[in-house]
Amino acid sequence: MKVELRNLTKIFPSRNKKSNDVVVAVNDFTFTIPDGKLIGLLGPSGCGKSTTLYMISGLQKPTGGQIFFGDDDVTELSAENRGIGLVFQNYALYPHMTVRQNIMFPLQNLKGVDKLTKQEMLDRAENAAKLVQIDELMDRKPSELSGGQQQRVAIARALVKMPKVLLLDEPLSNLDARLRLQTREEIRRIQKETGITTIFVTHDQEEAMSISDIIVVMKLGVVQQIGAPQEVYDSPINLFVAKFLGTPPINVFKGRVEGEKLYIGGTAVLDTPGVKDRAVTVGIRPEGFILDANGPLECNLSGVEVMGRDVSVVSTHGESLNPTVRSIINSDNKVEAAATVRYSLKSNKVFLFDTETEERILF
Ligand code: ATP
């Protein structure tokens, strides 16, 4: 099911009665989510991700704009009538019910033509449980399950109504690191198998990048960039997006362009053909540094952190806007113990931004 958001806007009144300030939680969001895709809604806390999801679900009413499921305008439709499945961070299973009863629960209130027989409900619950691989646990109570198993029950409960759209709000936040990784792969598998259009909200960029077909990066209610994860990482539209994606984060320097060359401090570090003379903010991805004894960028070496396959070289530089500069180097390369380390740069890993607007300057 294609989901279309047209100029979707949500304005909350001020909580302080004396003030006229309002919160624009979501500002003019327009995007068509293609049928069968997994979309990661991504951004820092308070950027409007959950509000967007709640408006799509019908739990919150937009202040402006429209929502279409396929060709149907569902903006005024209640949550129960939208055919969605919802999974929250706190997935609150009913503790006194078995896994089977928990999964079947949403089917019991179906009325009219949708009403199911007991056997149909049992079959549907069995199928949903198989999909999330908990069909062996159907007679257990939630307290007898691990966190990851409980989360799967919540997903099965959302799937049992065969939703047209699956909405997941930080569904992995309560899981430990290993389980998080495993469960996100599960979600991806289930989504691919069912082909249900899925919207996944997270503030974790790595999580969103790893499972989404398309990511939407938001800031203060405004969509910054929409695209395939790799595309957005490789070509961020502004400094905010560049900083938000990537671990370790992008390194940011003060710089200037003169005679189509980029200077950081007094040294020309890269050719920037076509860029006029100007001050710039420079972003360099950690993997954009090449150890090079004759390289133009010299940093003060602080230490080397072993990461297994790679090493992270930690250094400082007078023009860096962060306390440290972090490069990621293949561990086959030897970093000499010395006061300084020199680099040349990979031009496709270096981004220039306007110092005022923070918009990208292409070269
Ligand atoms: P988080 O990751 O912390 O959940 P989020 O990106 O999901 O954040 P939202 O919960 O959508 O952000 O909130 C967006 C903005 O709207 C925030 O500034 C928040 O304080 C505000 N907001 C959310 N709900 C309400 C409400 N019911 N009344 C007033 N303001 C609200």
**Residue scoring higher pLDDT (81 or 67):** 67
At 9 the pLDDT is 98
Chain-wide mean pLDDT for the chain?
A: 92
pLDDT band, residue 69 (cuts 50/70/90): very high
| DSSP conformation class of 112 | G
The residue whose C-alpha atom lies closest to atom 29 belonging to ligand 1 is: 12
At 275 the pLDDT is 96
With a cut of 80, say whether residue 14 has pLDDT above it. Answer: no
Q: Is 46 touching ligand 1 by the criterion CB < 6 Å?
A: yes
Instruction: State the average pLDDT over residues 229-237.
Output: 97
pLDDT digits (tens, 9 = 90+) for 270-288: 999 999 999 999 999 999 9
Tally of residues, the chain: 363
pLDDT digits (tens, 9 = 90+) for 128-148: 898 888 899 999 999 999 888
Helices (H), the chain: 49-57, 99-104, 118-131, 147-159, 177-194, 205-211, 229-234, 239-244
At 80 the pLDDT is 87
With a cut of 90, say whether residue 221 has pLDDT above it. Answer: yes
b/e map 131-145, b = 16+ CB within 10 Å: bbebbebbeebbeeb
Cis peptide before 248 (omega within 30 of 0): yes
Q: Is 283 touching ligand 1 by the criterion CB < 6 Å?
A: no
With a cut of 90, say whether residue 40 has pLDDT above it. Answer: yes
- Residue 5 to residue 8: CA distance in whole angstroms: 6
Distance (angstroms) between ligand 1 centre and the Cα of 203 equals 13
Q: Is 288 touching ligand 1 by the criterion CB < 6 Å?
A: no
**pTM > 0.85: yes or no:** yes
At 94 the pLDDT is 92
pLDDT digits (tens, 9 = 90+) for 79-130: 988 999 998 877 789 999 999 999 999 898 877 778 888 999 999 999 989 8
Instruction: State the average pLDDT over residues 160-165.
Output: 90
